[in-house]
Structures are given as structure tokens and as C-alpha cells.
Amino acid sequence: MSQHFRPYQDIPILLEQASKQSSHVFNALHDYIITFSGDFSYLVDNLEKLKLDSLVHQDKKNSNAADIDAFHTELFKSFPHIAVNHLLQIPSFAFAAEELKRFASGNILNRSVEYTKRNGDLSQKAVEAISQLEKIRQINEQAYRNYTNAGVELKNAEQKGTTNLKPLQEAFLINKNKSIESHQKCREETEIITRTMETLLTSFEELEIWRLNEIKKVLIDFADSMVMISQKFIEGFTQFSIEYPDFPFGNDSSAFADFSLFRPAESDDFFQVWRVHPLTSKFLPLEDLFTQECQNGGQIFVVKENYQGASGHLSVMEGERVVGLEQKDNYFMCKNINMSTGLIPSRVLAFPN
């Protein structure tokens, strides 16, 4: 089976392609981490807006202003500091953003620059070697042409019966010796350049191995950086518990642990792409409302009072019209004009007039 070998002239092209691909990979990693950093910066910007000024504003004109916050506990007075540095974790988010920027600049761009430089050095050496090879080949070909031309001139002179052939014979011998010498030199130079090109190819293989190992290190270092960032968040909460050991976590955080108030997307109008005010249904003809649902056995109801239930329930307003899809004990599974679905107690539903 025959093998196809690429000419030496293709080596600079391959090196350039590898350099572009490497830059693409490093830049993609850099942009990903910078984007990740930007997400943290975005969080910091938004969390900064949640910072609280002093919760108790003193009236400097009031001589008794110093006594205004006397009844507040030290915990209450410290709440802005607690919110910013511990609950909101703004310092930790800011550290994450800066750490990722530093990581992207130091760990990725530096490696990318180094690879590009090393690749460029190999490419330059390859171009110089190919140029030298082309140069000695041209010299050899010219010497050979001079030799053959001298032979043709001598042959033509003999055929014409020229009596003085000595100058042509001497020129023929000189060009013959030069051609032989040039050929020998070309072969020696070609051997040297061949070894040079083989060395360059080996260096290129080693450079690619280095690149792959460096990308692997980048990913490992990135994982380590994320661990360090997470440690900052842990340290923030730990410091909070040390500074405020009596903070009433149980009572104040119980509401956050109650997920019964979180609505699934299908029962919340917020998640609808095009949503209208629910009371719009009050002003539309009944025959234009929930046509498909009514054909499938649905029943249109009018909401008698505002209702906002737990997770899986539909929030409705007095006067709003919904369609009941299925009765479940004392509830109806209903759909509103925004196509949100959820349970509504039957006690708040009435048939339209």
C-alpha cells in the first residue's frame, strides 16, 4: 500500500494552522472564564444595590438624636455590615470575579503567547531551511544546464566540421566538473536540511504535547481556583457565625426553607412568553374564551375573590375568568387566559351569569 508524504513546503502551513487552532482553544478558554468572571461581577453590581445604609437616620437638628437608636440592639445596628459582608457575601463574589480575571490573564494568555512564540520560531526555521534548499537546488540545476549546453555546443561544432574544438572541449570539461561538484554539494546540503527538518518536526510534536499538557494544567488550575473561591464563601459564613454566635438563624431563615411558596413555572404567569393582565378575560366574549378547552369538556368559571395559594395553585383575581379542566376534591385544576394552570378552591369559583 503506497503512502502519501507531505512535501517540506507544507510544514510552515501546518505550523500556521496549528497556531491558529491553538489560539482558538486558548482564547475560547479565556473568554469562557472571563464570561464566568463577568457573571460574578454582575452579581456584585446587583448585590451592591442591596446594601443598606444605616437603618436608623439621626436628625442632627435634634439634640436628643443620639438617643433615637438607643433601644436598638447591637445586632440591629450591625445589620448593614452583616448583610454586605456575610449574608450577601459581596466580598466573596468580588474576590471570585477578580481571581478569575487574574487566572485568565496569567494562566491562559501567558501559555497562549508562549505557544505562539515557540510555534513561530519553528515556522521561521522551517522557512529558512526550505529557502536554503531551494537555493542550492537552483544552483545545481543551473550548473547542470551549463554542462548540457556546453555538450550541445561541442556536439554541434563537431557536426559542422569546426577545426578548432579545443576551447569548446575545455569549456565542456569545466562545466562538467562544476556540475559534478554542484551535485555533490547539493546532496550534502540536502542531507543537512533533511536532518534539520526532521528535528523541526520532532520539536513540533513535542510542542503539541506541551500544549495539550498545558491545557490540562489550565483546567486543573481552574478547578483549584473554584475550590479556593468556594473556600472564601465558607470562610465568610464561618466568620459570620464567630462574630454573631447568637444570631437567630432558626426563626429568621425558616421562611427561606419553606419551598411550599415557590410556584412551578406552569402555574406562574411570569414564565409565559406573552402574558396579559388576567382581568382582560373579564371583557372578552365568553364564546371567544378557552374554545378548545370547552370543546374538550372544560367549564368556564368566574373568580369570586382574590386567591393566592401554595405551590401548584393558580393565583387569580376577583372577576377573572378561568376554565376548569378537572375537579380534584374541593379544587378545580384550572387554566387562565395566560395558559398558566394550577389548582383553585371551588369555593372561590362561580358560573358566569
Average pLDDT for the chain: 78
> Is residue 146 located within the same domain as residue 291?
no
- State how far the Cα of 339 lies from the Cα of 345, in Å rounded to an integer: 18
Assess if residue 228 is contained within a domain.
yes
> Is residue 112 located within the same domain as residue 178?
yes
> Is residue 239 located within the same domain as residue 270?
no
Instruction: Express as a percent the part of the chain with pLDDT over 90.
Output: 28
Assess if residue 82 is contained within a domain.
no
What's 307's domain CATH number? 2.30.30.40
pLDDT tens profile 196-218: 888 988 898 898 888 888 888 87
Q: Tell me how far CA of residue 119 lies from CA of 82, 104, 130, in angstroms.
A: 52, 21, 16
Instruction: Express as a percent the part of the chain with pLDDT over 70.
Output: 73
> Is residue 238 located within the same domain as residue 305?
no
> Is residue 45 located within the same domain as residue 140?
yes
> Is residue 148 located within the same domain as residue 214?
yes
pLDDT tens profile 296-316: 999 999 999 999 887 889 999
Which pLDDT score is estimated for 72? 41
DSSP letters spanning 198-244: HHHHHHHHHHHHHHHHHHHHHHHHHHHHHHHHHHHHHHHHHHHHHH-
pLDDT band of residue 81 (cuts 50, 70, 90) is low
Assess if residue 216 is contained within a domain.
yes
Which pLDDT score is estimated for 319? 94
Assess if residue 285 is contained within a domain.
yes
Higher pLDDT, 260 or 205: 205
Assess if residue 1 is contained within a domain.
no
Please answer whether residues 109 and 34 qualify as being in contact, where contact means their C-beta atoms are separated by less than 8 angstroms: no
Which pLDDT score is estimated for 43? 61
pLDDT tens profile 87-101: 556 676 677 777 777
> Is residue 228 located within the same domain as residue 284?
no
Q: Is the pLDDT of residue 53 over 50?
A: no
> How far does CA 94 lie from the centroid of its chain?
20
Which pLDDT score is estimated for 261? 55
> Is residue 332 located within the same domain as residue 237?
no
**Location of C-alpha cell 445589620:** 79
Assess if residue 57 is contained within a domain.
no
> Is residue 231 located within the same domain as residue 270?
no
Assess if residue 27 is contained within a domain.
yes
Report the predicted TM-score, pTM, of the whole model to 2 decimal places: 0.46
pLDDT tens profile 137-195: 899 999 999 999 999 999 999 898 888 889 999 999 999 999 999 999 989 988 998 89
Assess if residue 35 is contained within a domain.
yes
Number of domain units in the chain: 2
What's 125's domain CATH number? 1.20.1270
Residue 170's domain comprises: 8-50+88-243
Q: Which of 209, 243, 277 is the last residue of a domain?
A: 243
> Is residue 229 located within the same domain as residue 271?
no
Taking residues 249-275, report their average pLDDT: 65
Higher pLDDT, 341 or 85: 341
pLDDT tens profile 215-250: 888 777 777 777 777 777 677 666 666 655 555 555
Which pLDDT score is estimated for 190? 87
> Is residue 45 located within the same domain as residue 192?
yes
- State how far the Cα of 277 lies from the Cα of 286, in Å rounded to an integer: 17
> Is residue 112 located within the same domain as residue 230?
yes
